[in-house]
């Protein structure tokens, strides 16, 4: 971002003008940066399935579909979005810990690439439907390896306490059962957590994979997503190439011949998006200033849900310094940042908001979901319209 006396510029677009044209707050994606991230992912030569839960804007899904054509879904709603945007049938992995009979049935009818199962109960459901409707489907088995991903406890998914996957003991039972049911297993599946910034958990995971491979090897090995992004900008964390170089070393070390699947979510769009918001007003008591924004936990839930940090910057600032709060009627509607200089109506930027922000947003306090726009070929393009009141009341009877 470049600030000068004429404005604040992102790819030659003056963000001050956006404030004059469209209602703030809004999400702004940067197409050039998206393409750069796609380039890094393509270089890996792994099978990349985009994890839709992190961002399901239809315009962005179309970009993914054009280049990668592979998606990882956790619900029928996500599956329907993919069907909507894609003329040909893309490759789909169905993940998630609580698939219903009807979700499995739809997957059977669409012959998706794989259902990643997480329990013995699920394999019974699949078997029952396969027999009833005379269909076949491939499965991968998600393992809970009891490995701590050393990330935030609310986004750790591979330890004993987490509901995800099948532990090693139950895996033996499941494989034994499947020798009778005969459902085609095409791989093991792992996802030990999100926002992972250390390589040591992956080393443990590959050691376990090596042990499992002594008994059964499959065509595919799904190692999940999880690579962390640099929310702090100033802190050094492992970068994308280094992370996957380390993974390649582990693949070589254990002589793994399976085709590697990755299910990236966060990395793909996180750092290609900012939220542009505005100071509504600043109030103070004897001790503190409270800078109330027009952006709240309904728009960006991660800070109040996980205590997550997003870098914040203020422009055309004033003299007073303050922390930041949203307009929602909850004390947890506040943002983690150091105090910044602010004044009424000044512009506030939230960084790294392209993943798990819009998808987690809600209509809490009967607020409308906000605009998403993209800087696309040096022009602004609206890719999600501000919701209106009609949408808020449409389903009431």
Nearer to ligand PLP, 17 or 121 (CB): 121
Determine the 3-state secondary structure of 378 from DSSP.
Answer: coil
Judged by CB under 6 A, how many residues of this single chain contact ligand PLP? 15
Does position 265 interact with ligand PLP (CB under 6 A)? The reply is yes
The only residue of 78, 122, 263, 299 in contact with ligand PLP, by rule CB under 6 A: 263
176-195 mask for ligand PLP (x: CB under 6 A)?
---------------x--x-
Q: How far does the chain reach from its first CA to its final CA, in angstroms?
A: 47
Closest C-alpha to 133, from 125, 144, 143, 142: 125
Report, in Å, the least distance between residue 289 CB and ligand PLP. 35
Is it true that the peptide bond before 25 is cis, omega within 30 degrees of 0? yes
The window from 39-47, 166-174, 222-230, 320-328 that contacts ligand PLP (CB under 6 A) reads: 222-230
> Would strands 347-350 and 273-284 be described as parallel, antiparallel, or unpaired?
antiparallel
What does the alpha-carbon distance between residue 48 and residue 277 come to, in Å, rounded to a whole number?
Answer: 33
The only residue of 19, 55, 57, 95 in contact with ligand PLP, by rule CB under 6 A: 95
Closest C-alpha to 274, from 373, 194, 369: 373
Report, in Å, the least distance between residue 80 CB and ligand PLP. 19
122-161 residues near ligand PLP, rule: CB under 6 A: 157
Report, in Å, the least distance between residue 164 CB and ligand PLP. 7
The window from 197-205, 260-268, 293-301, 303-311 that contacts ligand PLP (CB under 6 A) reads: 260-268
Decide if 248 contacts 208 (C-beta within 8 A): no
Does position 113 interact with ligand PLP (CB under 6 A)? The reply is no
The window from 38-46, 261-269, 308-316, 335-343 that contacts ligand PLP (CB under 6 A) reads: 261-269
Does position 224 interact with ligand PLP (CB under 6 A)? The reply is yes
Report, in Å, the least distance between residue 264 CB and ligand PLP. 5
Q: For residue 230, count other CB atoms closer than 10 A to its CB.
A: 17
- Alpha helix (H) residue ranges in the chain: 15-21, 31-43, 58-67, 76-85, 101-110, 120-133, 168-181, 200-213, 240-253, 266-269, 302-306, 389-393
Nearer to ligand PLP, 145 or 265 (CB): 265
Nearer to ligand PLP, 51 or 351 (CB): 51
33-72 residues near ligand PLP, rule: CB under 6 A: 51, 54, 72
Nearer to ligand PLP, 244 or 267 (CB): 267
Report, in Å, the least distance between residue 16 CB and ligand PLP. 33
What does the alpha-carbon distance between residue 335 and residue 330 come to, in Å, rounded to a whole number?
Answer: 12
Closest C-alpha to 337, from 286, 277, 259: 277
Decide if 221 contacts 185 (C-beta within 8 A): no
The window from 104-112, 170-178, 224-232, 310-318 that contacts ligand PLP (CB under 6 A) reads: 224-232
Buried b (16+ CB within 10 A) or exposed e, 81-97: bbeebbeeebbbbbbbb
Number of H helices, E strands in the chain: 12, 21
Nearer to ligand PLP, 19 or 138 (CB): 138
Nearer to ligand PLP, 265 or 303 (CB): 265
Report, in Å, the least distance between residue 119 CB and ligand PLP. 14
What does the alpha-carbon distance between residue 185 and residue 116 come to, in Å, rounded to a whole number?
Answer: 10
Beta strands in 135-294 (DSSP E): 138-142, 184-189, 220-222, 259-262, 273-284, 289-293
Tell me which residues touch ligand PLP (CB under 6 A): 51, 54, 72, 95, 157, 191, 194, 224-226, 263-267
């Amino acid at each position: 971002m470049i600030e000068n006396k004429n404005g604040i510029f992102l790819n030659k677009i003056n963000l001050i003008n956006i404030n004059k044209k469209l209602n703030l707050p809004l999400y702004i994606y940067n197409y050039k940066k998206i393409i750069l991230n796609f380039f890094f992912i393509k270089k890996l030569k792994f099978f990349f399935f985009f994890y839709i839960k992190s961002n399901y804007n239809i315009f962005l899904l179309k970009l993914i579909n054009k280049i990668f054509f592979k998606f990882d879904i956790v619900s029928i709603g996500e599956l329907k979005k993919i069907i909507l945007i894609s003329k040909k049938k893309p490759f789909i992995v169905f993940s998630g810990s609580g698939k219903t009979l009807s979700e499995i049935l739809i997957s059977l009818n669409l012959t998706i690439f794989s259902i990643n199962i997480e329990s013995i109960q699920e394999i019974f459901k699949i078997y029952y439907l396969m027999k009833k409707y005379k269909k076949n489907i491939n499965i991968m088995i998600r393992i809970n390896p009891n490995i701590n991903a050393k990330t935030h406890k609310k986004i750790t998914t591979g330890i004993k306490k987490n509901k995800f996957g099948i532990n090693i003991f139950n895996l033996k039972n499941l494989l034994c059962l499947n020798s009778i049911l005969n459902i085609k297993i095409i791989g093991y599946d792992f996802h030990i957590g999100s926002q992972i910034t250390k390589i040591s958990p992956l080393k443990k995971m590959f050691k376990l994979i090596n042990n499992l491979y002594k008994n059964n090897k499959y065509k595919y090995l799904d190692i999940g997503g999880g690579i962390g992004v640099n929310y702090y900008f100033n802190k050094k964390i492992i970068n994308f190439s280094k992370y996957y170089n380390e993974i390649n070393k582990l693949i070589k070390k254990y002589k793994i011949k399976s085709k590697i699947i990755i299910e990236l979510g966060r990395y793909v769009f996180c750092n290609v998006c900012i939220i542009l918001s505005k100071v509504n007003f600043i109030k103070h008591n004897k001790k503190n200033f409270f800078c109330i924004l027009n952006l709240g936990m309904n728009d960006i839930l991660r800070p109040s849900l996980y205590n997550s940090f997003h870098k914040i910057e203020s422009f055309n600032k004033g003299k007073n310094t303050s922390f930041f709060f949203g307009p929602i009627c909850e004390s947890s509607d506040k943002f983690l940042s150091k105090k910044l200089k602010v004044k009424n109506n000044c512009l506030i930027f939230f960084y790294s908001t392209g993943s798990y922000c819009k998808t987690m947003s809600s209509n809490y306090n009967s607020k409308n979901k906000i605009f998403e726009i993209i800087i696309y070929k040096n022009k602004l393009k609206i890719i999600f319209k501000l919701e209106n009141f009609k949408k808020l009341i449409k389903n009431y009877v």
